[in-house]
Amino acid sequence: MIPCSTLLDTLSAGGFDDRLRHVYCCTGEAELEGARSRVRAVAEGFLRTFERPADTPVGIFSGPGRTELGGNHTDHQHGRVLAASVNLDALACAAPNGTSAIRILSEGYPLVEVNLSDLIPDESERDSSVALVRGVAAKISSLGYTVKGFDAYVCSNVLGGSGLSSSAAYEVMVGVTISHLFCHDALTAVQLAQIGQYAENVYFGKPCGLMDQMASAVGAAVSIDFADIANPIVKKVEYDFTSSGHSLCIIDTRASHADLTAEYAAIPAEMGAVAAHFGKTVLREVDEVQFNASIPELRKKFGDRAVLRALHFFAEDKRAAEEADALGAGDFAKFLRVADASGRSSYMYLQNIYASSQPKEQAVAVALATAEQALGSEGMCRVHGGGFAGTIQAFVPNGKLDAFKARLESVLGEGCCLILSIRPEGGVVLID
């Protein structure tokens, strides 16, 4: 831990510049100053909010957002995915407060306070930050660690609804903070991801898979195999995306997620129904040859869409592994080809581009069509994450980046196109 006043002085003198450049993928002075400004904001916000002395020992903690690179809707069938952390994060300045309460103030939101003597799930807290904090603290306590009170001031540029998993970033940030302050940094990245998922499932009330938390906690590009859901196989994929000549763009289609719950739920339900036909729980357990031989029967029993979605799963599960192998071998051109095939499969077979109940609302399809126009025969674009609304992803040749961004924003609105980098580290103690 470092006295807050010392941290601020060192920050102003450029003493943390190398660390910030590395974690936030800063390529110029403007980006570096932006990173410095955010650290300064959380440190000063901590002192101001909690009325602490300037020499209070503090730490700076970070949980990044994530992007899905491959494996669209495979995780809930215990398949394989490829994901990565990005250079947007939930950033906190924190220190123990000597009480039995966790107090977190996120910029622009009310104070969150959790009494550590009461870590039982509270139905009234569902869908709230306090539920996530209580859930993370409860899970870490159940592992035998003594979690004590602390104060934290947080700012996050992983915006809710951005398709970059703001909730996972927040969970990982809280987990890293507790692990450092009270567990001697003993919790592994995989444990932090599982803790975050537990908080989101049990306390927040969202039945999410583990991909979001794992990508945020582990960092860089990670290949994850969920065949054994309790013990997923996680491998960091070593690839320098800056060498690819392409930039990662996440484009917000500005479409509403309202009234789409049934559309999202139908995907795992239909895949699960096909798996149940073979006496299995998820498609990962089903023999693909047996599935293919049974397609005529499955069409009659479940309808064509369920069959098409299962076909997507079997191919997409393989593609996620192919993409990881391509990046590991330094073959970015092959990665783009496989990622493009992933996007086309999502469109044709998985069918998560627009809601069948709302055929006039096709913002994701419009975004994909516009991106394809702008890219021509280069780069790649695909639906990103759950689909139906939300975001698309594109890898854009650097020489086309400005024109691409301008074209997408002329159709979808100013500010819709985020240019991001794959961050080399996941949930971290940024400064201590």
d(CA 197, CA 27) in angstroms, rounded, equals: 33
Q: Residue 82 — left, alpha, or beta (φ > 0 → left; ψ -120 to 50 → alpha)?
A: beta
Q: Report the CATH number at residue 69.
A: 3.30.230.10
Q: Average pLDDT in the 7-19 region?
A: 98
Token pair 């627009």: residue = 354
Task: Give the bridge partners for 114, in sequence order.
Answer: 102
Per-residue pLDDT tens for 332-348? 999 999 999 999 999 99
pLDDT tens column, 368-422:
999 999 999 999 999 998 899 889 999 999 999 999 999 999 999 999 999 999 9
**In the predicted structure, residue 207 carries a pLDDT above the cut 80:** no
Residues 64 and 164 in one domain: yes
Percent of the chain with pLDDT over 70: 100
Does residue 285 share a domain with residue 235?
no
DSSP 422: B
- pLDDT band at residue 161 using 50, 70 and 90 as cut-offs: confident
Q: How many domains does the chain divide into?
A: 2
Q: Specify the amino acid at residue 385.
A: G
Q: Which residue has the higher pLDDT, 257 or 329?
A: 329
For residues 224 and 366, membership in a common domain is answered with no
pTM to 2 decimal places: 0.91
Query: Same domain for 330 and 283?
Result: yes
Measure the CA–CA gap between 168 and 200, rounded to whole angstroms: 8
Q: Are residues 297 and 211 in the same domain?
A: no
Residues 225, 202 share a domain: yes
Q: Region 156-182: what's the mean pLDDT?
A: 92
Q: Round to whole Å and give the CA distance between 19 and 428.
A: 11
Mean pLDDT of the chain: 95
Query: Does 230 share its domain with 266?
Result: no
309 and 190 share one domain: no
| pLDDT of 257 | 67
Report the CATH number that the domain containing residue 401 is assigned in CATH.
3.30.70.890
What DSSP character marks residue 282? Answer: S
Q: Identify the weakest region by mean pLDDT among 90-99, 162-171, 256-265, 293-302.
A: 256-265
Same domain for 208 and 317? no
**Whole-number pLDDT of residue 235:** 93
Neighbours of 141 (CB within 10 A): 15
Please tell me the least confidently modeled range out of 75-84, 155-164, 243-252. Answer: 155-164
Domain residues for the domain of 274 are 243-420
Statement to judge: residues 361 and 219 lie in one domain: no
- Whether residues 124 and 258 fall in one domain: no
Q: Are residues 160 and 276 in the same domain?
A: no
Question: Which amino acid is residue 372, in one-letter code?
Answer: E
Question: Can you say whether residue 81 is alpha, beta or left, with left for phi > 0 and alpha for psi between -120 and 50 degrees?
Answer: beta
Q: What is the pLDDT of residues 111-142, one digit of tens each?
A: 999 999 999 999 999 989 999 999 999 999 99
Mean local confidence (pLDDT), 191-215: 90
